[in-house]
Chains A and B, each alone.
Chain A
Amino acid sequence: MTDQKIIELINSSLIEEFELETEKMTPEATIYEDLGLDSLDIVDMVVVLENAFRFKIREEDGIRDIRTLGDIHRFVIGKKQSLEKKGD
């Protein structure tokens, strides 16, 4: 899966699952202020990403440091890369 495909899948999943507006989905968009999610939504977001990409996210992966949509993109791309490396 290319990085672009990963980003598209992240955006489309979040738009559908959190009923977000497409035009707000810029990499700079902050999760809390711009996208309007809150702490209650974070576990839901973890589950959405786990289901979309078929991996498990753990606390030590740094999910709590995520601030922007771009952070999510980088997080998932990094996670997939490290899993692929492990699979080699």
Chain B
Amino acid sequence: MTYDTVVVGGGVSGLTSALILARHGRRVAVVEKAAKPASLIGGFERGGIYFDSAFHYAGGLGNGDILDLFFHYLGIDRLLRKVPLDQNKFDIFRDSASGWEFSFPCGIAALQEALCEAVPHEARGIQSYFVCLAAAFRQLPYLNPGTPEVTWNPVEAVHGPSLAEVLRRFIRDPRLGHLLSLHTLLHGVSPQEIPFSIHAGVVLPFYRSPCRIAGGGRALAAAFSAQIQAAGISLIQGRSAEKLVLSASGHLQGLKLADGESLACRECVVSIHPRRFLALAPQGALRPAYRNRLMGLEDTSSGYILFLHGLAPPPILAGSNLYLGFSGQGMAEALSSLERRPLFVAGGAFHADSAQTGHGWSVICPASWLEMEGEWASAGFPRSDSYRAAKEEVSGRIFQRLAHEAPEIVQGARLIEAATPLTLRNHCGGPRGGIYGVRQAVGQYNPQPATRIPNVYLCGQATAAPGVLGAMVSAFLTCGHILGDDRLRREIMA
């Protein structure tokens, strides 16, 4: 059997691509090396307790907002129950030194008002900043499907300005600058390096309508699986792609799997870390310039994650997430010591059936891959004693910080598991443990959907933006390249 399209990689971008293409009559297969699709956002279980690992909350999921439209288009909306976060405080920032708090209310107008109230002498700057943010957002592809598309030139993002540059233009109070940079944790790139337009694409939907999903990432993964099955897409899981098979004239014939089987196909959407795409391409199919460019791409920041368990979730996390950090502190200082880094405490997918088992929640602390490089990175399993000791030490220090800065988060809680940049490398597919894979950064040219090999396309966070929304936009961009952007945009709005 010949497939019209084989999608390599069954994460959010790959599954979204598969659903879009199947909807347009293509016979599609998805090859996923993990045992189940969307395994990363699907979280994990320890001792019968479920933990979200890669999905905590999403922006733009309010009724009619952009992620809601995407979910509806894919047919997964009716399989999910959205849980809007607290309208008055979906995210809370707490200054680790002084205990000062700022609550982010839902909605752009409410947020602007709250910021003006907190820092009244910056009211004009706040207003100008949000005008800029909205204007940058309007330029982004697929995020405004209801308005006529502007011509999106990805190179513009590469040339900046960065978030820090735009903040400098309008904001003088470092405390305010810090609040407006807080959500850089949602794309893993510093304010100095993140293109302002990409930052706008990530944060604006969060400001507008942040939601959790009942059952967390596991429910989202299950919804995808159900739709993949309903669409008649072949799911080839637990098996790795090895090489694209090309004819003598360089045309795609199929995909060879690591176990020797070959899938014949006319088209391939490669939805994995771009560096891993290089291993799929046959010798000579890609020029050194392109190979070197993809090899040189840098990833987003990595992180340590603590997974905590308690019989009852901390009340503060019921409708909010908590961000801890040092107001007005620069990024370099923030990354220098574990004790100065920002911490993101994500409320878990609290659900009623956890009454017996208790609840799981997590704390994410940004980290650099460099902290893992060396003997640990190259060694396999079982892990060395020195690695385990270091992991324990880091977890202990973060736990101590929480006990001091946010005691309600750890009160009555047990540390069940921890992840390091090395863990993230093994599970996220990025060679350097980047939480969001390849980063979007000023000065870095990320790959586009089209590749040098005819009918082979790239897709994924690297080609568009990070997170669930970014991964979905990347799928629409890649499929729009194949099927026509206007057509897809009309369908999303239908």
Measured between beta carbons, the chain B residues less than 8 angstroms from A41 are 287, 289-290
Contact A17 B445 (CB under 8 A): no
Q: How far is the CB of B150 from chain A (nearest CB, A)?
A: 16
Does A18 count as interface, using CB distance less than 8 angstroms? yes
Contact B159 A17 (CB under 8 A): no
How many A residues are at the interface, by size bracket? 10 to 19
Most buried by A among B289, B290, B450: B289
| Chain A stretch 37-62: residues in CB contact (< 8 A) with chain B | 40-41, 43-48, 51, 56, 58-59
Q: Which of A47, A56, A58, A59 contacts B289 (CB 8 A)?
A: A47
Contact A58 B159 (CB under 8 A): yes
Q: Which of A17, A56, A59 contacts B287 (CB 8 A)?
A: A17
Does B452 count as interface, using CB distance less than 8 angstroms? yes
A-B contact count (CB 8 A): 41
- Interface residues in B, total, Cβ within 8 A: 16
Measured between beta carbons, the chain A residues less than 8 angstroms from B287 are 17-19, 41, 44
Contact A44 B290 (CB under 8 A): yes
Majority SS at the chain A contact face: helix
Contact B450 A45 (CB under 8 A): no
Contact B443 A47 (CB under 8 A): no
Q: How far is the CB of A84 from chain B (nearest CB, A)?
A: 20
Does B99 count as interface, using CB distance less than 8 angstroms? no
Residue of A nearest to B451 (CB): A40
Contact B159 A59 (CB under 8 A): yes
Most buried by A among B293, B445, B448: B293
Contact B452 A45 (CB under 8 A): no
Residue of A nearest to B153 (CB): A59
Measured between beta carbons, the chain B residues less than 8 angstroms from A19 are 287-288
> A-side interface residues toward B, CB under 8 Å?
16-19, 40-41, 43-48, 51, 56, 58-59
The 4 closest A-B pairs by CB, nearest first: A17-B289, A44-B289, A47-B293, A17-B288
